[in-house]
């Protein structure tokens, strides 16, 4: 029937050009080409051709798959080789890990022992901290007490500073008063000294006249590395010229008499007296407005005459000769 259809189609074509156009159309259209084959080929041949085509396509696909399998097999072998190398490296790494693990175990044991020690130390530290906390509490209480005491002391210090300021002002005033008093006392001492020397001169004049001496000159005071307080030039009953010398003290004691006796007995002082016009011999006295008992003892010991406001108390032991004898 198919063949009859094709023949009827062919019969309807009026020219060669139309047939060529039809062939070109069939060649360019796969579906039309398939229909044309089915139309011109018996069913057995058509089915066989179709089977051959399918088989060829399957063979091509199988060939492609085999190539891909071969390539995949090659890649698998390469992967297996790489895995073998990696496995070897892994085994080496496992060995190193095992050794490291052993070292780690040892370190862990050491760390565990250290942790145990640290735990014990921590417990001890906590106990100490508890004790320190208790001590700190006591210290804080003491600090609070000290702070309160310091505040009180600061207040006392402020008061003391005010008192010190007043005291300093009072001291300054007292110092000024002391200066004024010292000046007054110095003037008073000077006046007392002058008064004492005047009284001594008057009393020595009285004693000398009472004892028969004639006063030729005086009284004088003579500065000679120190000072001769009173000096008279007198004449005795035999006509000899003598020099009466006296050391005057407000308060007379042993040491003052001792110093005066040593001074007048020195050759140097007598030479200076001679140079001043008083060659001696020397009638030597001491005067005391107030004389201690020791002054009497010293006057007798050193042969010096002693005069008080009551007159001559100790008579000179004798004359002291001039320096050149």
Profile the chain (325 residues) by mean pLDDT over runs of 10 residues.
52 65 80 77 79 82 83 85 84 82 84 85 85 83 85 85 78 62 40 71 94 91 77 93 94 94 92 89 94 95 94 93 77
Residue 174, pLDDT score: 61
**Residue 233 is inside which H or E element, if any?**
strand 227-235
Q: Is 195 exposed, middle or buried (0-12, 13-18, 19+ CB in 10 A)?
A: middle
CB count, 10 Å around CB of 254?
17
Residue 222, pLDDT score: 82
What predicted TM-score, i.e. pTM, was given to this entire model?
Answer: 0.42
Q: Confirm if 196 and 249 have CB atoms less than 8 A apart.
A: yes
Residue 295, pLDDT score: 95
Cα–chain center distance at 201: 73
- Please give the sequence-ordered ranges of beta strands (E in DSSP) within 241-319, or none if there are none: 241-252, 282-291, 305-308, 311-314
Integer Cα distance of 294 and 253 in angstroms: 6
Residue 183, pLDDT score: 42
284's tokens: 């030597």
**Omega prior to 219 cis, within 30 of 0:** yes
Residue 282, pLDDT score: 95
CA atoms within 13 A on the CB side of 180: 6
Residue 299, pLDDT score: 95
Residue 6, pLDDT score: 54
The dihedral built from the CA positions of residue 155, 160, 161 and 162, taken in this order, carries a sign that is positive
Which domains can be identified in the chain, with CATH numbers?
A: 192-314 (3.40.1350.10)
Residues 6+ apart with CB under 8 A from 271: 323
- Helix then strand then coil, in percent of the chain rounded to 5, is 70, 15, 15
């Amino acid at each position: 029937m198919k063949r009859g259809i094709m023949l009827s189609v062919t019969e309807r074509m009026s020219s060669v050009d139309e047939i060529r156009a039809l062939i070109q159309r069939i060649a360019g259209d796969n579906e039309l080409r398939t229909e044309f084959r089915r139309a011109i080929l018996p069913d057995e041949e058509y089915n066989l051709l179709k089977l051959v085509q399918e088989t060829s396509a399957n063979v091509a696909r199988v060939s492609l798959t085999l190539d891909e399998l071969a390539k995949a097999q090659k890649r698998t072998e390469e992967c297996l080789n790489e895995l073998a190398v990696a496995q070897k490296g892994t085994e080496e790494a496992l060995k190193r890990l095992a050794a490291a693990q052993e070292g780690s175990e040892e370190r862990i044991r050491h760390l565990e022992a250290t942790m145990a020690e640290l735990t014990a130390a921590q417990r001890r530290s906590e106990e100490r901290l508890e004790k320190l906390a208790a001590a700190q509490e006591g210290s804080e209480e003491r600090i609070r007490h000290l702070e309160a005491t310091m505040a009180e002391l600061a207040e006392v210090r402020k008061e003391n500073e005010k008192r010190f300021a007043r005291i300093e002002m009072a001291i300054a005033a007292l110092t000024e008063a002391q200066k004024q008093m010292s000046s007054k006392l110095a003037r008073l001492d000077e006046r007392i000294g002058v008064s004492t020397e005047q009284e001594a001169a008057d009393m020595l004049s009285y004693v000398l006249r009472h004892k028969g001496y004639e006063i030729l000159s005086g009284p004088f005071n003579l500065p000679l590395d120190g000072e001769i307080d009173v000096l008279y030039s007198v004449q005795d009953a035999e006509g000899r010229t003598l020099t009466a010398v006296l050391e005057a003290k407000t308060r007379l004691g042993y040491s003052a008499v001792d110093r005066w006796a040593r001074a007048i007995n020195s050759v140097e002082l007598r030479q200076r007296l001679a140079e001043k016009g008083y060659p001696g011999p020397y009638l030597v006295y001491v005067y005391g407005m107030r004389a201690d008992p020791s002054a009497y003892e010293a006057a007798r010991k050193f042969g010096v005459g002693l005069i008080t406001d009551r007159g001559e108390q100790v008579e000179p032991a004798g004359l002291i000769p001039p320096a050149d004898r």
